[in-house]
Structure 1
Amino acid sequence: MNIKKVFRIAGKVILILFLIIVLFLLTTTIVYHIKLNKVEKQLKDAGYYNPVSVGDHSLNVYACGNENGRHTIVALAGLGDGEMFLGWRQMTAELEKDDRLIFIDRAGYGLSDDTKQEMTPEYVVEEYRTALQNAGIEAPYLLMGHSLGGLYATYWESKYPNEIEGIAYVDGSICYEIPEEEQVDGAVLMPVIEKLGLAPFVVRSDYGRFFDIMTEEQKEQAIYMMSKTIGSSVMKDELNKNDRCFDLVWKETTTTDIPKVYISASTAYHTKEDFINDGISAESLLNIWVAPEMKDAGEDAIYEEALRLMEQRRTEWAEPYYEKLGNCKVVELPGDHVIFLDKPDECSRIIKEFIDGLAN
């Protein structure tokens, strides 16, 4: 065959593939933004939207539960969790009977406005406080933080202990010292993926199995709120600052007697049987806990390595952090990091027992 003809055919094939990709991305972009607008309208019509100005943008503050309840519980989202006012509700249903729940989205999260501001712990906590004050929600607060929300809760308590009557950490981030030369930026391509309408595929892949606790409508709403959030400028900035924030909050943490409960989930496995009973295969631990190079080492070796790394994390990072927090009761509940979706009823029981203890 003539070499020029081969190149012409190859060029046409490449052009066709390129056009197919462009058409696919154009379709996903249009469909995504149409659905996102629909979901936002649904949530606003359902009363979830209550923007509160914090200056040049607004944070969404959704209040529910017992308005005249014993405590004001302020929920602080984990990284990318723009749907907490939907996804946390099975965990908080019992709490809402006796207490007031405030779901406050950070900038860029859920129904809040995005911002280009740097998301330092100090900035985030001041925005939280400003939003609550402008919404007429007075301290004291009982903070309930998941993942990165736990980091902000710790900083808040250290800076303004008189405003906080307790903290419930739902597998909160563990803060520890990270030398500057070891700090790594965590920026990713998620803003591009979100704008092209591909984020819902990522969310469904990572969290879809946990959304069964919601109705079909809520599932769709949760997926699109998370998709919108992970494409925000704020989340990109938070990822870039992760290591620096862990180090800063560790250094700024002040030991107090304020009561705390820490639900330890993702590092609460102690035996191979713990993993198996929770349906966690050795293969699923690769890339998350165990280096992928161990894939041929055998199931037992992978489980043992994961357990070793968890024990190392507990002893070197978690236990010193609990001690530095002060008056912190640790409750182990083996499960996924999004334990509020994985085991919401068990989380609810632990937090309710903690809150009931505050009243005594």
Structure 2
Amino acid sequence: MSKKNKKKRGKKIMKVILIIIVILAILMFIGFIINSILSKGELEQIEPYGKMINVDGKNIHVNSMGNGSETIVLLPGFGVSLPSADFGPLMRELSKKYTVATIEYFGVGFSDEIDTPRTNENYTHEIRTALQKAGFTPPYILMPHSISGINGEYYASRYPDEIKGLILLDTTSTSKEVLESIPSYMNRLENIGFSIGKFQQKIGMTRLGMKLVPDTKLVKNGYTEKEISDYKKFSNHVINNTIINQSLSKANNIKETSSLDFPENIPVIKLISSETLKNMAKKNKDDGLSYHTEHLKRLGKNTSYKVIEASHFMYQTKVSEISDITDEFIDTLEQQ
């Protein structure tokens, strides 16, 4: 091919690339406009499910059901846009026997965003204050999901008299092995990921993605149409600075919690999802249980576990099974 033809071909390629860039820019601009219109006032139309509790000048949403003698406190995992809706079926089932409260952290659900660092100490202060101001009296049975296991363990370690037991829903491990597996560059990667996520959220890609991804929050799984609809709307606004700070604080919070001695008198049961077990088996090239058994070993001898055939979000599809295990666990507590 002659130099002249090569030059012509190069110009054609550059022209095609330029056209593609212009088209993408136009589409993103259109997406931004449409998303801005749809987002305006979208959440203001939805009334909080529970009480808005003032904690240090900002509001935390606490949703509760039931009036049983035992109080179960549900703590949501990372990235759950509306925990009070997400935990809906589980709350209704547990509330038949117990008092159940869901805490929506700052930056999540109906709760305000906040600039306060997302440290273990601040989370524990906010949870304790919100529960007490909402009228709940310790001791509590904490039921954290995923990353919230860190908050539950820290709370129990710092204020053991206020915690009667922990039911861990596929929670993050606080063992030394987990700490060693967190790369030093993790926060830099997460910062890049969140920057991309915020951009996608602004141009409406998050909204579009929600329509394409299969969901287990279905009426057949115990969800109401309102919970399903509200959750989807909140998911269009899930990324904010408070949530980003929560994620970036994860490694430090795990490290701090793992350095504390967990109270041996507090019983713990960990419910492990089969999905997580398979993923850990592939990663560690074993049966997948070592990740969890090392975790439980750190928490002491007063621990046990059960494997649930479900995804990481087991409470969305396995309400009855979790409820039955909760009954057995609480019966054991009362016998002690």
Q: Does 1:248 align with 2:247?
A: no
Look up the equivalent residue of 1:170 and give its one-letter code.
L
Q: How many pairs does the alignment contain? A: 320
Look up the equivalent residue of 2:215 and give its one-letter code.
R
Q: Does 1:306 align with 2:282?
A: yes
Cα distance in structure 2, aligned partners of 1:71 and 1:35: 42
Task: For residue 161 of structure 1, report the CA deviation from its aligned partner.
Answer: 0.8
Q: Deviations over 1:232-256 (max 9, x none)?
A: 1122122223222222211124232
Cα distance in structure 1, aligned partners of 2:37 and 2:102: 26
Cα distance in structure 2, aligned partners of 1:222 and 1:265: 23
Q: Does 1:329 align with 2:328?
A: no
Q: Name whichever of 139-148 and 87-96 sits farther off.
A: 87-96
Q: Does 1:237 align with 2:245?
A: yes
Task: For residue 152 of structure 1, report the CA deviation from its aligned partner.
Answer: 0.5
Give unmatched runs, 5+ long, in structure 2. Answer: none
Task: For residue 15 of structure 1, report the CA deviation from its aligned partner.
Answer: 5.1
Task: For residue 321 of structure 1, report the CA deviation from its aligned partner.
Answer: 2.0
Q: Does 1:210 align with 2:216?
A: yes
Given the superposition, is the C-alpha separation of residues 320 and 219 from structure 1 closer, same or farther in structure 2, using an over 3 Å criterion?
same
SS of structure 1 residue aligned to 2:250: helix
Aligned ranges 1:67-146 → 2 under 5 Å: 68-146=67-145
Give the aligned partner of residue 324 of structure 2: 349
Look up the equivalent residue of 1:325 and give its one-letter code.
L
Q: Is the 8 A contact 1:51 1:60 kept in 2?
A: yes
SS of structure 1 residue aligned to 2:101: strand
Q: Name whichever of 320-329 and 77-86 sits farther off.
A: 320-329
Cα distance in structure 1, aligned partners of 2:248 and 2:308: 29
Look up the equivalent residue of 2:308 and give its one-letter code.
L
Q: Is the 8 A contact 1:73 1:143 kept in 2?
A: yes
Given the superposition, is the C-alpha separation of residues 8 and 180 from structure 1 closer, same or farther in structure 2, using an over 3 Å criterion?
closer
Q: Is the 8 A contact 2:54 2:130 kept in 1?
A: yes
Give the aligned partner of residue 172 of structure 1: 171
Q: Name whichever of 349-358 and 162-171 sits farther off.
A: 349-358
The percentage of counterpart residues that share the same residue type is 24
Q: Does 1:198 align with 2:198?
A: no
Q: Is the 8 A contact 1:165 1:258 kept in 2?
A: yes
- TM-score relative to the length of structure 1: 0.77
Give the aligned partner of residue 284 of structure 1: none
Task: For residue 147 of structure 1, report the CA deviation from its aligned partner.
Answer: 0.3
Task: For residue 330 of structure 1, report the CA deviation from its aligned partner.
Answer: 0.8
SS of structure 2 residue aligned to 1:117: coil
- TM-score relative to the length of structure 2: 0.82
SS of structure 2 residue aligned to 1:111: coil
SS of structure 1 residue aligned to 2:320: helix
**Structure 1 residue corresponding to 2:234, chosen from 225, 238, 244:** 225
SS of structure 2 residue aligned to 1:43: coil
Give unmatched runs, 5+ long, in structure 1. Answer: 270-274, 276-287, 290-304
SS of structure 2 residue aligned to 1:169: strand
Q: CA RMSD of the aligned region, Å? A: 3.0
